[in-house]
Structure 1
Amino acid sequence: MTTPAPSPAGGSETASAPVRTGAFAALRQRDYRRFFLGQLVSNTGTWTQLVAQDWLVLRLTGHTLDVGITSALQFLPVLVFSLVGGAAADRWPTRRLLVVSQVLLGLFAAVLAVLTLTGAVRLYLVFALALLTGSVRAFSAPALQGFVSEVTGPELLRNAVSLGALNFQSARLVGPSVAGLVISVVGIGWAFAVNALSYAVVVATLLAVRAGAGQATATRRKPGGVREGLAHVRQRPELLWPITLVACVCTFGYNFPTLLAGFANGPLHADAQHYSFMTASLGAGAVVGALVTARLGDRGKSRLVAYALAFAATEALAGAAPGYTVFLVLLVAMGLVSIIFNTTANATVQLAVEQGMRGRVMGLYSLAFSGGTTVGGPLVGWAVDAWGARAAMGICALVTLVGAAAVSVSRARATAVSGSPEDGGLPS
């Protein structure tokens, strides 16, 4: 589909229009509002399914390790396909790639719903569908992030990224509550059906967004496009260091489903409703964090390492929480700091990358963000089963702290060698 490229301000705005400011500036654009609505429905369905899926696996086996394996299988394809998915996002029309991927994801959710409702679900089937879902998302994630820049333009991109985080985390508040209610009233299978239906709304809003065709004639991938993307990041410190820091933090620090399942099944002895409250507490903090980031704008980009260290500290405190109520409060703090870190890193990378390399660079970002969780998930699940949830969360916090400190030291050395603060590339 071919439509005119958007103006620098995005959508139907003219090139001479003043850049709008404020925490919700991007939402003043009609096309971004449509996109935002579709993603809110989609993210709510996704969180509903994630909570239901974790609970289903616990019901099937009773082992936290299996929850970690399920989570890892959803992210494992990122290790294999994210760079290829990024190249595909640079090569093919973004909207077409997104529509196809959303249809497939809806189909997988519907299959899991039918299997669960009919009693035919087995652990290996959950594993297989998690792997298929992750494979599609490895291709859709770089395209989705690139699509945001096409809708808004560079002036509103940082604000749109913050609002996207607000969208996702608001769904984290609603989705687990929906999951807990649906599971309690009609059963786990219907939670998957809710997610399947949400994708119809997503596809409709993607087709309604006109500004997304800003790169309808997508940049054709040159031979060796994946290698070009890696070389581009390696040669640009302002891309290399934030992506490296994201990988360090996410490998162990962001294994929330496995850790929360461990606390629910272990020291807190929580039921499905209380487990959903844990996920919702992370989401509540993340919503506040996204609002803070949207309000900060460019002012927050100079504190990326500090945000990573703050996240490690809050995770360590949560691991030592004496009871359920204190644990929920600390989860709110964890959610707040984690989303400020992630949103700041994402916007920093997107604003530094060239348009023709955006898909490949964001594919690498997805590899760092989700691929790290893939590697860490089974290890964290094993640690929970071996030493308990508290010890496992403490270890995750320690690894995150050491990784962030190591990246900070490496960046400082690079800056000293180059003699230029800009060459260090990573906000401190």
Structure 2
Amino acid sequence: MNTARSWEALQDKRFRAFFIARTTSMVGTSMAPVALAFAVLHVDERAAALGQVMAARMVAMVVFLMVGGVIADRMSRRTLIQVSHTLTALTQGIVAWLVISGHATIPLIIAIEAVNGAVSAFSMPAMQGLVPQLVEPRLLQQADALMSFARNGTMIIGPVLAGVVVAGPGPGWALAVDACTYVLAILALSRIALPAAVRRGSSMVADLRDGWTEFTRRDWLWIIVVVFGFLNAIHIGAWMVIGPYIAKTDPDLGVHGWSLVLSAEAVGAVLMTVVLMRLDLRRPLRAGMLGIALLSLPILVLGLDPRTVVLMPLAFVAGAGTQVFSTGWSVALMENVPEHALSRVSSYDMLGSYVAIPIGTTVFGWLAAVADPRTILVVTAVTYGVVSLATLLVPGIRHLRRATIVAAQQDSPVG
């Protein structure tokens, strides 16, 4: 893919409107963790209170993911996203008002954020299924890379913006800004015109069963989801739980060094999205699993020699590798799963990912208390790398090719 075509997907006005809407809402999404954390701590200084709020949101999202996938395959995905954004703006706006007015309580915030989590269970599968409806198949990788570029970029800018607002007007106003971004996203989505959704007379259970059939019939799909349930748990536990603990206790790394390491990881992901706008992944899953295996390197060094100057370049490479997997995986799903079942299949994928998060944080928090954290990191890194590369033993993962490339070769005289 040459430089002149790198932004070709944005020439389609429907995808351009979706890109603007998604980027706008992601600014708010990236602000939300910082804004919500300080809003909760403004009401109750106990760490347990923040944990309860975060758990309520995550549990509600996991509970409703399957239903969200079915609904997203049944109705207009654009409409579903707009309704979800409306509810997100309302819930975040209510929490903002409660905090600003001084009427907020932890039980109220827990209840509202649980609704927020349930709403996201409908919007996320819908977004995954909407992109193939907006761009040509040959532009799917570029479209996903553009979305990843926006997501990674806002993850750098959003927390900084949230910090400025929290330090100034206060955490309630940061949540208000978050709510406003969703209102703007709703307006952008209104510019997308799509054919009417095909109504099916099947039951919810039948739709779930059909989605499960689509999910399990492809060995590369369910194997990677199962493997990532394990990989995500140990990645979250090792990198996001034990990592900050090592940073806080090690004089050669420290909190400042750890922030630089995380920034290097984000920069690596952002720059790789630019590369992926120009370079086609001919075998997206092979490239993706090789890329994700690179995450084992900074985890290993964090256990052996946690110095900022060593960790930063490795985190940069790991961030780039993670982005290769993210794009390769999205393209493989969008090209090989029928559009009418894509949201349901995506919901099964997301369920495997999100269930692993509380497991990883809990298990590794316990392990760090009963064993040497650095030894845990070394063992985790080796395990992560071996499991990632072992998936390449599966022919479907190793040999899956871009559908557009295969079609082009079949249509050529030589083919």
Q: TM-score, normalised by structure 1?
A: 0.78
**Measured at CA, do residues 43 and 338 of structure 1 come closer, stay the same or move farther in structure 2, by a change above 3 Å?**
same
* 1:50 counterpart = 2:33: yes
Which residue does 2:160 correspond to in 1?
A: 177
**Measured at CA, do residues 400 and 165 of structure 1 come closer, stay the same or move farther in structure 2, by a change above 3 Å?**
same
Equivalent-residue separation in structure 1 for 2:255 and 2:46 (angstroms): 13
Residue among 330, 339, 346 paired with 1:346: 330
**Measured at CA, do residues 93 and 174 of structure 1 come closer, stay the same or move farther in structure 2, by a change above 3 Å?**
same
Letter in 2 for 1:76: V
* 1:137 counterpart = 2:140: no
Which residue does 1:113 correspond to in 2?
A: 96
Q: Retained in 1: the 8 A contact 2:61–2:118? A: yes
Which residue does 1:197 correspond to in 2?
A: 180
Q: Retained in 2: the 8 A contact 1:176–1:280? A: no
CA displacement at 1:376 relative to structure 2: 2.6
Letter in 2 for 1:371: V
Residue among 383, 388, 410 paired with 1:404: 388
Q: Retained in 1: the 8 A contact 2:248–2:255? A: yes
**Measured at CA, do residues 62 and 386 of structure 1 come closer, stay the same or move farther in structure 2, by a change above 3 Å?**
farther
The CA RMSD over aligned residues, in Å, is: 3.6
Equivalent-residue separation in structure 1 for 2:316 and 2:12 (angstroms): 31
Equivalent-residue separation in structure 2 for 1:179 and 1:188 (angstroms): 8
Letter in 1 for 2:202: K
Letter in 2 for 1:253: H
Which residue does 1:164 correspond to in 2?
A: 147
Q: Which runs of 5+ in 1 are unaligned?
A: 1-18, 424-428
C-alpha offsets along residues 188-215 of structure 1, whole Å, 9 cap, x if unaligned? 22221110110111100111122xx14x
**Measured at CA, do residues 188 and 379 of structure 1 come closer, stay the same or move farther in structure 2, by a change above 3 Å?**
farther
Letter in 1 for 2:28: G
* 1:81 counterpart = 2:81: no
Which residue does 2:197 correspond to in 1?
A: 217
SS in 2 for 1:299: coil
Q: Retained in 2: the 8 A contact 1:172–1:280? A: no
C-alpha offsets along residues 82-135 of structure 1, whole Å, 9 cap, x if unaligned? 222111111111111111100111112112222333444454444434332221
CA displacement at 1:40 relative to structure 2: 1.1
Equivalent-residue separation in structure 2 for 1:100 and 1:315 (angstroms): 40
Q: Retained in 1: the 8 A contact 2:66–2:208? A: yes
Residue among 136, 139, 155 paired with 1:153: 136
CA displacement at 1:269 relative to structure 2: 6.3
Equivalent-residue separation in structure 2 for 1:122 and 1:261 (angstroms): 29
Q: Retained in 2: the 8 A contact 1:112–1:126? A: yes
CA displacement at 1:137 relative to structure 2: 0.8
Which residue does 2:234 correspond to in 1?
A: 252
Equivalent-residue separation in structure 2 for 1:396 and 1:352 (angstroms): 32
**Measured at CA, do residues 247 and 38 of structure 1 come closer, stay the same or move farther in structure 2, by a change above 3 Å?**
same
Letter in 1 for 2:363: L
CA displacement at 1:296 relative to structure 2: 2.6
* 1:366 counterpart = 2:346: no
Equivalent-residue separation in structure 2 for 1:396 and 1:71 (angstroms): 26
Residue among 290, 309, 315 paired with 1:306: 290
**Measured at CA, do residues 348 and 20 of structure 1 come closer, stay the same or move farther in structure 2, by a change above 3 Å?**
farther
C-alpha offsets along residues 38-94 of structure 1, whole Å, 9 cap, x if unaligned? 21111111111112334555674564x776665444333343222221111111111
C-alpha offsets along residues 307-359 of structure 1, whole Å, 9 cap, x if unaligned? 22112223333455635666555544443222222221121122110122112
Which residue does 1:32 correspond to in 2?
A: 15
CA displacement at 1:26 relative to structure 2: 1.0
**Measured at CA, do residues 73 and 312 of structure 1 come closer, stay the same or move farther in structure 2, by a change above 3 Å?**
farther
CA displacement at 1:405 relative to structure 2: 4.7
**Measured at CA, do residues 149 and 283 of structure 1 come closer, stay the same or move farther in structure 2, by a change above 3 Å?**
same
Q: Which moved more, 1:376-385 or 1:259-268?
A: 259-268
**Measured at CA, do residues 377 and 130 of structure 1 come closer, stay the same or move farther in structure 2, by a change above 3 Å?**
farther
Equivalent-residue separation in structure 1 for 2:112 and 2:316 (angstroms): 31
Q: Which moved more, 1:23-32 or 1:174-183?
A: 23-32
Q: Which moved more, 1:28-37 or 1:277-286?
A: 277-286
Which residue does 2:411 correspond to in 1?
A: none
C-alpha offsets along residues 145-195 of structure 1, whole Å, 9 cap, x if unaligned? 111111113221222112111111111111011022222223222221110
Which residue does 2:410 correspond to in 1?
A: none
Equivalent-residue separation in structure 1 for 2:385 and 2:62 (angstroms): 24
Which residue does 1:231 correspond to in 2?
A: 213
Equivalent-residue separation in structure 2 for 1:146 and 1:353 (angstroms): 10
Q: Which runs of 5+ in 2 are unaligned?
A: 402-415
1:252-331 matched pairs, under 5 angstroms: 252-254=234-236, 270=255, 280-299=263-282, 301=284, 302-318=286-302, 322=306, 330-331=314-315
Letter in 2 for 1:191: A
Equivalent-residue separation in structure 1 for 2:105 and 2:247 (angstroms): 22
Equivalent-residue separation in structure 2 for 1:388 and 1:48 (angstroms): 34
Equivalent-residue separation in structure 2 for 1:145 and 1:55 (angstroms): 31
CA displacement at 1:33 relative to structure 2: 1.5
Equivalent-residue separation in structure 2 for 1:231 and 1:89 (angstroms): 17
SS in 1 for 2:281: helix
**Measured at CA, do residues 368 and 114 of structure 1 come closer, stay the same or move farther in structure 2, by a change above 3 Å?**
same
Letter in 2 for 1:176: P
CA displacement at 1:220 relative to structure 2: 2.2
Equivalent-residue separation in structure 1 for 2:121 and 2:339 (angstroms): 20
Q: Retained in 2: the 8 A contact 1:79–1:371? A: yes
Q: TM-score, normalised by structure 2?
A: 0.80
Equivalent-residue separation in structure 1 for 2:20 and 2:93 (angstroms): 22
Percent identity over the alignment is 24
